Chain A
Amino acid sequence: MSSSKQPASTSFKAPDSSCLQLDEQGRLRHFLTTEGLSKDVLTEIMDVAESFSTVSNQAVKKVPVLRGKTIVNLFFENSTRTRTTFELAAKRLSADVISLNIATSAAAKGESVLDTIRNLEAMHADMFVVRHSDSGAAHFIARHVAPHVSVINAGDGRHAHPTQAMLDMFTIRRVKNEFTNLKVAIIGDILHSRVARSQIHALNILGAKEVRVIAPKTLLPSDVDSLGVHVYGDLRSGLNDVDVIIMLRLQRERMGGAMLPSEHEYFECFGLTQAKLAYAKPDVTVMHPGPINRGVEMDAAVADGPNSVILQQVTNGIAIRMAVMTLTMGHNRVGG
């Protein structure tokens, strides 16, 4: 009961995100969402990622931090890039990793998510990296795993994609050094984007000066300002004085329906070109979680131009995932 008129009973409440993903000492146990985490926790993730970032350049691209641990990538929804970076991250930490594409295995045979988890637990998995098309799936699994098992959310529905958000924060920090003076604009399909939600929480927690979203109303969730953003319906005013631009991927199936009239009109209004880049600060950083629809979300010239850090994002993704895996497994000593 939520109202002040109903003080009677609060005994049976589901734990909120932050207590579910932190242990008694306040350390990360699962990584489900950036929402509700402290600035210290997010900073620690980036600091650990920084220390891991050299591993990929070594002759032997491995550290023995998670040797003997079994990590299961559970992808109930297809993904190539995210799954690959999680696999690489696990391997560089010396863990044993298997990736299951559940969309084409057990779930298709009618096995419930819970049964899948119980079976894999019986095989002594230590960590699940989960992607699922339902919002809340990672939380659901985290509530049901054994105490020693960690869950990392690799994207749940429209809700959260916290490792993507953290690799973006890491990339921003590497370019801009800090957050408090930054104005950041997120452009595109906010409504369906788990990446945007996780970025918005992370940017606000890290103290960004202003977070903006720029999109047509059909691609904005209701009461979006309650997430802590300023809403703009056009690029010219939305990009004014902005330090970082984050473009979102626009699913092709949203086009030509009731969401948007056409790719052409979307690009005309919300696509990023060199000319429109001039509305922002001269040293503006341009980001995109990929894969890019060139000519829909942005011009090739912008994507490949001097302001773009899109490929650095991909590289940083491995270090961030190594950091999150290490921290949630309780191996805080870097290089272990």
Chain B
Amino acid sequence: MNILIKNGRVIDPVNERDVIQDIAISGGKIQHVGDVPASFVADISIDASDKLVLPGFVDLNASLREPGYEHKATIASETKAAVAAGYTTVCCLPNTQPVLDTPSVAQLILDKAEAAGYAKVRPLGALTVALEGTTLSEMYALKKAGCVAMSQAPNSNPNSQVLRRALQYASTHDILVVLKPEDTAIKDDGCIHDGAISSKLGLPGIPTSAETVAIAQIIELAEETGARVHLTGISSARAVSMIARAQFTNNAISADVHAHQLHLTELDVGTFDANHHTSPPLRTAEDRDALIAGVVQGVFSVSSGHRPHEEEAKQAPFPSTESGTSSLETVFPLMLKLVSDGLMDWSQLVSRLASGPAEILGLDVGNLSIQSAADICIVDPKTTWLVNENHWLSRGINTPFWGHQMTGQVTHTLVNGRLVFEK
């Protein structure tokens, strides 16, 4: 299958490219960028005039819910939503049932993803058996089975001794460890940011120190063990400066922030709106501004933190609802908002969503190099759309942006040179 993408603005920070060019794809790979020979015969020709041609996005943190939680979502439903949102690679968390702590579960997930035929799924294996934080998982076997990193997310981290051992062991096999920095003892039964809003609503709060204490611990253990550590889902201003400082001396520490954290604050919880029950919690405007600055400066990549839920999961008094938002499909428009607000340029956007995460994971995706896999999304930065049942593919409709108008629409997505989404 030969595909020609014509007249699009190609933005590819890895190759320092931002120019209107044609891209020719054959055999699932990018064959030509710019000078497409006249002899190239396209089976499909896509006119990308007034559109942007970008490397497909790479998500560092999504729950696909399968196996075990198919009442919330399936690999097929969520990877379909992913490609419609411009994602071509999705890392899924190990909190499945059974937990992704054996090669057979990893294989099951890879098989289901391949059968679905949408995005590439790259599992994160469980760091500890059953995510219980006591016994190390067979990390080497999980890596061989296709896990690109080990993670304890979204669960709490093991005690400091087990975590230290896990990092030592992962480091032995050069395995990346993805951790959600959260001190569960400080978090306790907290469900929103500990501050003026939690005090007013009488909701148990999650202090900022629940994040920063965990980060301090992880940074020290990463330094001592030499492990490669990725901190996922950062929420506070203090954490931004801690991580930036750590990165100054240790380039094996990376981090991401969920896109919705760059737009929402504790105020959006309003009067107990369970769609704003997130983990980590939405914090203050100062925190949000610092997170944006961290993304602009390259301290962070951006992940979705996708947590699709069935409707009942949010139909209860606030503290009894499950946390998380269905967020894959709003990431790109939310990032585009930062570009249109003049806070970052297109090249930075692509770097935070595609090449940055790919580099962290050590995957050869997130770029438009000749002979690399043709994982591409084409976006129309001007089209607006309403977040409603007509434009939503994820099984989870638990988004705080339901009913909102978004600007920026993915029009085509290619995975390995196959057109898997077309608007």
Contacts and interface: CB of A to CB of B under 8 A. Distances in A.
B198 A221 contact: yes
Nearest to A33: B271
Most buried by A among B195, B267, B337, B404: B404
16 contacts: A1-B268, A6-B337, A8-B407, A12-B403, A14-B270, A16-B270, A35-B200, A134-B316, A136-B201, A139-B271, A140-B318, A158-B202, A194-B202, A197-B200, A222-B195, A223-B199
Nearest to B203: A135
A134 B196 contact: no
Given A35-B200, A136-B317, A197-B200, A3 B401 contact: no
B45 interface: no
Interface in A254-306: none
B207 A222 contact: yes
B316 A140 contact: yes
Interface size class of A (residues with CB under 8 A): 35 or more
Contacts of B264: 1-2
A98 interface: no
A114 B315 contact: yes
Interface string B168-203: 000000000000000000000000001110111111
Closest 4 CB pairs of A and B: A12-B403, A159-B202, A158-B202, A136-B272
B201 A9 contact: no
Contacts of A137: 317
B265 A2 contact: yes
Interface of B: 194-196, 198-205, 207, 263-265, 267-268, 270-273, 285, 288, 312, 315-320, 337, 341, 401-405, 407
Given A3-B265, A12-B403, 20 more contacts: A2-B268, A8-B405, A12-B402, A13-B273, A14-B270, A113-B317, A134-B318, A134-B319, A135-B272, A136-B271, A140-B317, A157-B319, A158-B203, A194-B202, A222-B195, A222-B199, A222-B207, A223-B199, A226-B200, A227-B200
Interface of A: 1-3, 5-6, 8-9, 11-17, 20, 35, 112-114, 132, 134-137, 139-140, 156-160, 194, 197, 221-224, 226-227
Contacts of A1: 263-264, 268, 404
Contact of B199 (A2, A13, A139, A226): A226
Contact of A227 (B199, B204, B265, B288): B199
Nearest to A138: B317
Nearest to B270: A14
B318 A135 contact: yes
A134 B265 contact: no
Contact of A14 (B199, B201, B272, B288): B272
B263 A197 contact: no
A135 B319 contact: yes
A136 to B, nearest CB: 3
B271 A14 contact: yes
> Interface residues of B: mostly helix, strand, loop or mixed?
loop
A5 B202 contact: no
A136 B205 contact: no
A107 B207 CA distance: 31
A222 B264 CA distance: 20
Contact of B315 (A3, A112, A159, A160): A112
Contacts of A16: 270-271
A6 B198 CA distance: 23
B401 A9 contact: yes
B317 A222 contact: no
Contacts of A134: 316-320
Contacts of B319: 134-136, 157
Most buried by B among A13, A15, A227: A13
Contacts of A15: 271
Given A3-B263, A221-B198, A136 B315 contact: no
A63 to B, nearest CB: 34
B195 A223 contact: yes
Contacts of A140: 272, 316-318
Contact of B285 (A2, A8, A136, A157): A2
Contact of A9 (B203, B204, B265, B404): B404
A2 B337 CA distance: 14
Given A3-B265, A13-B270, A112 B207 contact: no
Contacts of B341: 5
A298 B404 CA distance: 53
A9 B320 contact: no
A206 to B, nearest CB: 18
Contacts of B272: 14, 135-136, 139-140
A3 B196 CA distance: 17
A62 B272 CA distance: 38
B201 A3 contact: no
Contacts of A223: 195-196, 199
A223 B284 CA distance: 12
Contacts of A226: 196, 199-200
B201 A159 contact: yes
Contact of B404 (A2, A12, A136): A12
